[in-house]
Structure 1
Amino acid sequence: MEFANKEYFLLLLLLIPYVIWYLMYRKKTEPTVRLSDTHAYRFAARSWKVTLMPIQLLLRLAIFVLLVLILARPQTHNSWKNKSVEGIDIMMAMDVSGSMLAEDLKPNRIEAAKQVAAEFIAGRPNDNIGLTIFAGEAFTQCPMTTDHASVLNLLRGVRTDLATRGLIEDGTAIGMGLANAVSRLKDSKAKSKVVILLTDGSNNRGDLSPMTSAEIAKSLGIRVYTIGVGTNKVAPYPMPVAGGVQYVNIPVEIDSKTLSEIAAATDGGFYRATNNRELQNIYREIDKLEKSKLNVTQFSKRYEAYQPFALAACLLLLLELLLRLTIFRKLP
Structure 2
Amino acid sequence: MFRFEEPAYLYLLILLPLLVAFYLYSNYRRRKAIQKFGDPILMAQLMPDVSRYRPDVKFWFVWAAIGFFSVLLARPQFGSKLETVKRQGVEVMVALDISNSMLAQDVQPSRLEKAKRLMARLVDKMQNDKVGMIVFAGDAFTQLPITNDYISAKMFLETIDPSLISKQGTAIGAAINLATRSFTPQEGVGRAIILITDGENHEGGAMEAVKAATEKGIQVNVLGVGLPDGAPIPVEGTNDYRRDREGNVIVTRLNEQMCQEIAKTGNGIYVRVDNTNNAQKAIISEIDKMAKADVETKVYTEYNEQFQAVAWIILILLLAEMLILERKNPLFRNIHLFSTKKKEQ
TM range (shorter): 0.5 to 0.7
SS at match of 2:81: coil
Structure 2: where are the runs of 5+ without partners?
1-76, 243-248, 317-345
Opposite residue 235 of structure 1, the aligned amino acid is A
Indicate if the aligned counterparts of 2:228 and 2:256 stay in contact, CA closer than 8 A: no
Residue 194 of structure 1: which of 192, 195, 218 is its match?
A: 192
State the shift of 1:158 in Å: 0.3
Distance of aligned partners of 1:271 and 1:308 in 2 relative to their CA distance in 1, 3 Å threshold = closer
Distance of aligned partners of 1:310 and 1:272 in 2 relative to their CA distance in 1, 3 Å threshold = closer
Distance of aligned partners of 1:298 and 1:214 in 2 relative to their CA distance in 1, 3 Å threshold = same
Indicate if the aligned counterparts of 1:234 and 1:250 stay in contact, CA closer than 8 A: no
SS at match of 1:79: strand
SS at match of 2:157: helix
Alignment size in residue pairs = 232
Indicate if the aligned counterparts of 1:135 and 1:172 stay in contact, CA closer than 8 A: yes
Corresponding position of 2:131: 129
Query: Which has the larger displacement, 293-302 or 83-92?
Result: 293-302
- Which digits, 9 at most, give the CA deviation of each residue in 1:25-66, with x for residues without a partner? xxxxxxxxxxxxxxxxxxxxxxxxxxxxxxxxxxxxxxxxxx
Structure 1: where are the runs of 5+ without partners?
1-74, 316-332
Indicate if the aligned counterparts of 1:174 and 1:203 stay in contact, CA closer than 8 A: no
State the shift of 1:287 in Å: 4.1
Distance of aligned partners of 1:82 and 1:237 in 2 relative to their CA distance in 1, 3 Å threshold = same
Indicate if the aligned counterparts of 2:200 and 2:255 stay in contact, CA closer than 8 A: yes
Distance in 2, matches of 1:309 and 1:281, equals 44
State the shift of 1:203 in Å: 4.9
TM-score by length of 2: 0.60
State the shift of 1:96 in Å: 0.1
Higher Rg of the two aligned structures:
1
Corresponding position of 1:218: 214
Distance of aligned partners of 1:236 and 1:297 in 2 relative to their CA distance in 1, 3 Å threshold = same
Opposite residue 134 of structure 1, the aligned amino acid is F
Distance in 1, matches of 2:235 and 2:148, equals 39
Distance of aligned partners of 1:265 and 1:76 in 2 relative to their CA distance in 1, 3 Å threshold = closer
Kindly indicate whether residue 230 of structure 2 is the aligned counterpart of residue 234 of structure 1: yes
Residue 92 of structure 2: which of 90, 93, 100 is its match?
A: 90
Distance of aligned partners of 1:187 and 1:261 in 2 relative to their CA distance in 1, 3 Å threshold = farther
Corresponding position of 2:261: 261
SS at match of 1:288: helix
Distance in 1, matches of 2:264 and 2:226, equals 21
Opposite residue 292 of structure 1, the aligned amino acid is A
Indicate if the aligned counterparts of 1:129 and 1:145 stay in contact, CA closer than 8 A: yes
Distance of aligned partners of 1:247 and 1:288 in 2 relative to their CA distance in 1, 3 Å threshold = same
Distance in 2, matches of 1:240 and 1:310, equals 50
Distance in 1, matches of 2:272 and 2:78, equals 49
Distance in 2, matches of 1:180 and 1:286, equals 22
Moved >4 Å (runs of 4+): 247-250, 300-311
Distance in 2, matches of 1:279 and 1:309, equals 47
Opposite residue 158 of structure 1, the aligned amino acid is I
State the shift of 1:261 in Å: 2.5
Give runs of aligned pairs for residues 1-332 of structure 1, distance below 5 A: 78-162=80-164, 167-185=165-183, 187-205=185-203, 209-239=205-235, 244-247=238-241, 250-290=250-290, 291-299=292-300, 307=308
